[in-house]
Amino acid sequence: MRSFPGREQLATLWRDSALTLRSPAQLRHDLLAGLSVCIVSIPACIAYADLAGMPAQTGLYTALAGMLVFALVTSSRQLIVGPDAAVALLITAAVTPLAGGDPARYAVLAAVLALLVGLLMLLAARARLGVMADLLSKPVLLGFMNGAALILIASQLGKFTGLTLQHGEFFPRLWEIARRSGDMAAAPLLTGLLSLACLFALRRWRPAWPAALPVFVLAIVLAWLLRLDEHGVALLGSLPAGLPAPHWPALSLAELTQLLPAAAGIALLAMPEGILLARAFARKNGYEIQPNRELAAMGLANVAASCWQGFALSSSQSRTAINDAAGGQSALSGLFAALLLLLFLLFLSDALRYLPVATLAALLIFAGIGLIDVREWQEMYRVDRTAALFSLVTTAGVLLVGVLPGIIVGISLSLAYLIQFMSRPFDAVLSNVEGRKGFHDAGAPGLSGHSRYLQGLLVYRFYAPLLFANSGYFSERISQLVADDGDTRWVLIDAQAITFLDVTAAEQLLRLNRQLEEAGIDLKFARCNRPLREALDRYGVTSAIGADSFFAHVHDAIDEYRQRHPDVGPELAPTLGWDGIERRQEH
């Protein structure tokens, strides 16, 4: 039975905690950073709540519960969690078809979705899946974010222009706006355009300022002075004061089944993004994070948000950057931000009643424009056109079939690309390079002209694990090379890059060995690593080929070949084939 941690263990845990106060000056820095985060969070959380189809106050509840719980568990000293634009779009896509237009049912389903997201993250942390942060394809993430940004912008055009739009899909909505451009209401459109202009002006001239706050304050003051509601400008209205009573969202098996795919999609997006963001700021500030602890902290934050009438949340790049720029040195800054947000909800929530809805839409459009990263896609296209194409297809998928199916399209393309790469990996015929010891992959143009082969010897390197997906290709390549040569006596596999062997590949190796034996050709291995040797032993390949067919180094095998075939000479020279592998032809 596991004992409770002792005093020394608890002291170590506290010392390593992101909440640890390391100097008196840190408290002041964290308090100021928490104030900055709170100021920025208020307009952002209200906007993202609207984007998620939830009442404005639920965005504040989500941020409060999330930051409070996350700060107590996280290993990151700067990461801030809360409502996020991409996650809000996923919530809307998942919950809207199930709610049937009932706001109360919508809120319950959104809370259940947040709970499922949290539980999936906790399971991922328990399974130690923090390494998945390294597995999310950058092209897919970039393509998804660009597509989500365009959908975010399109989703706000109705409120921005004063139109009541019938279509929710991206392209039909754009066509409807173009068709009804003459029906746009002047007052909401002017309010939205002025708000958007102010946001861009502040980003241009005062980039360090939290632009949303002064724009919101100015819009509220002007709406009150000019009575904009009397001129057709919709206002946010009063928010409930105080806090709701925490409660466990009501669950049903049918709802869980319907929402589970969406919860998996949100978790799949939020977990790697959060870990990568935490890791980036940890590296910047000279410390290490614990990825699985970050998953647990984010999972608990989502569970807390679901119990507090909130919705699913994620890490926030903008608020984290503001926290770091304001001097936040520990998770205390997130805790202070949560406490200040609590004070706002208790005493100042009514200050937002005159906020124009068009200004809220302008903030979301501004955020959407900021999410579009054309320059990054251009750079990706310059270095890897296939990756850029996958990113573009992901964006198109998001726009054509929706947010959730779109990201699945992108992930499926990434997996297809990975399978294609694993099934047709790089390989090379090695050669003896003048002036260098041993045999080498002489694919570089500067070396290939100075290479020689030993007659009758084929030295082959395979740059991938040997799996069911590529074992047939492996055998075909060797068979073709042997047929092209016409005088092969040994096939020597340089197995340095083969780190894994499965049962299908083992059977393929045994079949290849029999075919080579029938042709009077010996199959040999060099530089087998320990996992590969254990797999070869386990599957019976070693006993079939013979233990004396394995060499520690390629040059050991070459020496053995020379002893057995003293008549051979360097009669063949390599050239590069059309597919990149070195071919051998007579002078």
Q: What is the pLDDT of residue 44?
A: 86
Question: Where are the domain boundaries for CATH 3.30.750.24 in the chain?
Answer: 427-586
Q: What is the pLDDT of residue 20?
A: 67
CA angle 395, 398, 404 (to 5 degrees): 135
Radius of gyration of the chain (CA): 31
- Six-digit token pair at 363? 């903030």
What's the average model confidence in pLDDT over 163-169?
Answer: 81
What's the average model confidence in pLDDT over 125-152?
Answer: 77
Query: CA of 78: how far to CAs of 38, 167, 258, 325, in Å?
Result: 14, 40, 35, 10
Single-letter residue type at 58:
T
Q: What is the pLDDT of residue 6?
A: 46
What span, in angstroms and rounded, lies between the C-alpha atoms of 416 and 410? Answer: 10
Instruction: Please give the CATH number for the structural domain made up of 427-586.
Output: 3.30.750.24
Which 3-state string (H, E, C) describes 81-146?
A: EECCHHHHHHHHHHHHHHHCCCHHHHHHHHHHHHHHHHHHHHHHHHCCCHHHHHCCCHHHHHHHHH
DSSP 8-state assignment for residue 356: B
Q: What is the pLDDT of residue 486?
A: 81
- Six-digit token pair at 139? 């092209």
Query: At 439, which helix (H) or strand (E)?
Result: strand 439-440
What span, in angstroms and rounded, lies between the C-alpha atoms of 301 and 314? Answer: 9
Q: Is the pLDDT of residue 444 over 80?
A: no
Query: CA of 79: how far to CAs of 28, 76, 86, in Å?
Result: 18, 6, 17
Per-residue model confidence as pLDDT tens digits over 489-547: 999 999 999 988 999 999 999 999 999 999 999 999 999 999 999 999 999 999 999 99
Q: What is the pLDDT of residue 59?
A: 94
The burial class, CB within 10 Å (0-12 / 13-18 / 19+), for 25 is exposed
Q: 247, 307 in Cβ contact below 8 A? A: yes
Burial code of 249-287, b = ≥16 C-beta within 10 A, e = fewer? beeeeebeebbeebbebbbbbbbbbbbbbbbbbbeeeee
**Locus of tokens 């509601």:** 229
Q: 130, 382 in Cβ contact below 8 A? A: no
- Six-digit token pair at 392? 């573009």
Q: Is the pLDDT of residue 298 over 60?
A: yes
DSSP 8-state assignment for residue 235: B
Single-letter residue type at 377:
W
Of the candidates 242, 244, 202, 240, the one whose C-alpha atom is nearest the C-alpha of residue 219 is 202
Of the candidates 114, 111, 117, 56, the one whose C-alpha atom is nearest the C-alpha of residue 247 is 111
What span, in angstroms and rounded, lies between the C-alpha atoms of 99 and 249? Answer: 15
Confidence tier at 71 by pLDDT (50, 70, 90):
very high
Per-residue model confidence as pLDDT tens digits over 170-191: 899 899 999 988 888 899 999 9
3-class DSSP assignment, residue 492: strand
What span, in angstroms and rounded, lies between the C-alpha atoms of 255 and 260? Answer: 8
In the chain, % of residues over pLDDT 70: 88
Q: What is the pLDDT of residue 521?
A: 94
Structure pTM? 0.72
327 vs 521, residue with greater confidence:
521
Per-residue model confidence as pLDDT tens digits over 474-487: 999 999 989 888 88
What span, in angstroms and rounded, lies between the C-alpha atoms of 587 and 571? Answer: 8
Q: Is the pLDDT of residue 454 over 90?
A: no
What span, in angstroms and rounded, lies between the C-alpha atoms of 502 and 517? Answer: 23
Confidence tier at 436 by pLDDT (50, 70, 90):
low
Q: What is the pLDDT of residue 162?
A: 86
DSSP 8-state assignment for residue 466: B
Q: What is the pLDDT of residue 13?
A: 45
Q: 84, 316 in Cβ contact below 8 A? A: yes
What's the average model confidence in pLDDT over 551-580?
Answer: 69
Per-residue model confidence as pLDDT tens digits over 342-385: 999 988 888 888 989 899 889 888 888 888 889 999 999 999 88
Of the candidates 319, 587, 288, the one whose C-alpha atom is nearest the C-alpha of residue 453 is 587
**Relative orientation angle of helices 170-179 and 138-155, to the nearest 10 degrees:** 30
- Six-digit token pair at 231? 């001129």
Q: 22, 332 in Cβ contact below 8 A? A: no
Q: Is the pLDDT of residue 136 over 70?
A: no
